Amino acid sequence: MRQAVRGTAVAALAAAANAATLAEVCTVANVQAALPANGTLNGINLIPSSVTANAVNDANSTTSSTAYNYCNVTASYVHPGKSQEVVVWYTFPSPDTFKNRFYVAGGGGYSLNSDPTGGLAYGAVAGVTDAGYDAINGVALDTVALAGNGSINWDNIYMFGYQALGEMTQIGKAITPAFYGSNSSSKLYTYYEGCSDGGREGWSQIQRFADEYDGAITGAPAFRYGQQQVNHLFANVAEQTLGYYPPPCELEKIVNITIATCDPLDGRTDGVISRSDLCKLNFNLNSTIGTPYYCAATTSTSLGFGFGSKAKRQSSTSEPAQNGTISAQGVALVERLWEGMINSKGERVYVPWPTGSSFQDTATTYNSTTGAWDLSITSLGGEFVTKFIQLIDVSNLSSLENVTYDTLQDWMNDAMVRYMDSLQTTLPDLTPFQSKGGKIIHYHGEADDSIPTASSIHYYDSVRNIMYPTQSYNESITSLQSWYKLFLVSGAAHCSRNTLMPGPYPEDNMATMIDWVENSIEPTGLNGTVTSGTYSGEVQQLCAWPLRPFWSDNSTMNCQYDQKSIDSWTYTFDAFKVPIY
Ligand code: CA
């Protein structure tokens, strides 16, 4: 029955072609008629009576600087045999601004995106999902991952992991042609964009819903989830193992000296380490011992990036004035962090953070009674261990007693195995996406202090090895770059510019991606704009990995091949007995 109704609606609107107005298409009846009939999308049963449709005429408003006219649409669906309703929410641009595009944005931390308006700037329909657990209203996965102690809510894990976004996209793409009354055979270009967990979510879509997307932009992805989340405890365990809890000011001073010393190694003194590999290979950390530091007393907010709602609440700390000199112990701690996690057998467990990055996970707490700095267990790692590994509904570990690098390795292994097909998100064979013409822009800040930059390089290399096993290195790079490019962002922090280094940051990636997908204009570099410091306003072309930037003078940057650099970014995780992609 619905098919017949739908056909009539399409015919009526098609007759009007592009002349349809927002008011004409933005009706409950039009959306209901456009819904895919149950059985069309296997596993998704839409509920027509749940549909809402409301036109928003922001373009007539004088208060909004960037205003659009669009249609807000919500609908609910169930998975056959299950009762939990899932809400999806779309914004459809006014017909006169629709450009045959569909856009999906990622979230961050344990939260999915809840803003459906991100596509309007591109003439794209966009959508968000509540994942069945009210994610649209801000409910984060860490609060619903457990049904109770010892009991994982797998529906929520899988929905967050990849399923909810994929289904939202499938439904939205099915509705769109009928909604506009356009020819359903015309191409609906579909894009994904996100950073941090949003980057991981993008990879989940490329790996699991390859048919749905034409282009994906993934920044600093929080993939290799089991390792990545536990790795947040590496700094705390390093402090405990060394028996040294540094005053924050001491590490800040080491970071500042590192930046000042390594800045020129890339050929240009601009306050930015564009080559953290040259810094790693050449900087003598011991030379900083004895350098005085001073920081005034502060009341500050946490450096945490809100990976988990609990982390956001532990925000305000008071610190006394810190006055001292860089110690051998402080240097030993930084050396350990730059080396990355190694177990008691001398095997590598995980990648290190890049030289020049800050050390957010090292944060210590001032004990006003003893006057000493004490261990402060980062909830970024602690909460993941309690809720996702120990399956206890508390928001952090209460102590790290008897926790060693070997313990962290065991936790990583437990999490990797448990969430291998939901959150790990490192499937390396992307043939379905590649063979249908999909394009990927993957970027990562080279001073990321939350997700190590080398994590992205490791995955890029895994895809290269798995997909082009018989090609030489150079041949396989050429093959891979024709559809998947990785860019390191000089000096950038985690999914953002870095207050310590005035480097470039890519902010018009969608324009580059649209050109690549719709106009076959393949990017060689990626636009990175500098917005502070001596070179504010400059647009740099970030180098596609494995090429590395080097300035031949203060104004000319070349992308060069440097085997030593590539080798310094290459790691084998021999602590694990199965391949780690
Ligand atoms: Ca520099």
- Residue 553 confidence class, pLDDT cut points 50, 70, 90: confident
- What CA–CA distances, in Å, run from 441 to 117, 286, 451, 483, 527? 22, 38, 18, 9, 12
DSSP 499-542: TTB--EE---HHHHHHHHHHH----SSEEEEE-SSTTTT-EEEE
Question: How high is the pLDDT of residue 317?
Answer: 66
For residue 550, the CA-to-ligand 1 centroid distance in Å is 9
Q: Return d(Cα 382, Cα 427) in angstroms, integer.
A: 26
For residue 274, the CA-to-ligand 1 centroid distance in Å is 5
The one catalytic residue among 130, 142, 155, 448: 448
In the chain, CATH 3.40.50 sits at: 189-222+425-545
For residue 269, the CA-to-ligand 1 centroid distance in Å is 5
Q: Return d(Cα 555, Cα 206) in angstroms, integer.
A: 38
Q: Return d(Cα 573, Cα 133) in angstroms, integer.
A: 36
Contact by Cβ (8 Å): 551, 274: yes
Residue with tokens 């057998």: 345
The one catalytic residue among 361, 456, 494, 565: 494
Contact by Cβ (8 Å): 495, 446: no
Ranges 23-27, 301-305, 374-378: which has the least confidence: 301-305
- Residue 313 confidence class, pLDDT cut points 50, 70, 90: very low
Q: How many Å separate Cα 277 from the centre of its chain?
A: 23
Contact by Cβ (8 Å): 529, 514: no
- Residue 197 confidence class, pLDDT cut points 50, 70, 90: very high
For residue 447, pLDDT over 90 is answered with: yes
CATH class assigned to 189-222+425-545:
alpha beta
For residue 90, pLDDT over 80 is answered with: yes
444 assigned to active site: no
For residue 295, the CA-to-ligand 1 centroid distance in Å is 26
User: Residues 63-74: pLDDT tens digits?
Assistant: 556 789 999 999
Contact by Cβ (8 Å): 15, 33: no
For residue 103, the CA-to-ligand 1 centroid distance in Å is 36
494 assigned to active site: yes
> What's the first-to-final CA gap in the chain, in angstroms?
48
Question: How high is the pLDDT of residue 182?
Answer: 77
Question: How high is the pLDDT of residue 554?
Answer: 82
User: Residues 96-134: pLDDT tens digits?
Assistant: 999 999 999 999 999 999 999 999 999 999 999 999 999
Question: How high is the pLDDT of residue 555?
Answer: 85
Question: How high is the pLDDT of residue 63?
Answer: 57
For residue 298, pLDDT over 80 is answered with: yes
For residue 6, pLDDT over 70 is answered with: no
Average pLDDT over the chain, rounded to whole? 93
- Residue 316 confidence class, pLDDT cut points 50, 70, 90: low
Mean pLDDT of all residues in 344-372: 96
Ranges 17-26, 432-441, 522-531, 554-563: which has the least confidence: 17-26
User: Residues 471-489: pLDDT tens digits?
Assistant: 999 999 999 999 999 999 9
For residue 535, the CA-to-ligand 1 centroid distance in Å is 11
For residue 435, pLDDT over 90 is answered with: yes
Strands 189-195 and 101-105: parallel
Question: How high is the pLDDT of residue 5?
Answer: 44
Question: How high is the pLDDT of residue 299?
Answer: 81
For residue 533, the CA-to-ligand 1 centroid distance in Å is 12
Ranges 382-396, 504-518, 553-567: which has the least confidence: 553-567
Q: Return d(Cα 382, Cα 202) in angstroms, integer.
A: 25
Name residues whose C-beta falls within 8 Å of residue 75's C-beta, 6 or more positions apart in sequence.
31, 35, 46, 47, 50, 51, 52, 87, 88, 171
For residue 311, pLDDT over 70 is answered with: no
Contact by Cβ (8 Å): 233, 378: yes
For residue 358, the CA-to-ligand 1 centroid distance in Å is 17
For residue 267, the CA-to-ligand 1 centroid distance in Å is 6
For residue 342, the CA-to-ligand 1 centroid distance in Å is 30
For residue 307, pLDDT over 60 is answered with: no
The one catalytic residue among 94, 196, 309, 357: 196
For residue 503, the CA-to-ligand 1 centroid distance in Å is 9
For residue 273, the CA-to-ligand 1 centroid distance in Å is 5
Tokens of 257: 């000296």
448 assigned to active site: yes
Among 141, 118, 142, CA closest to 130: 141
Question: How high is the pLDDT of residue 101?
Answer: 98
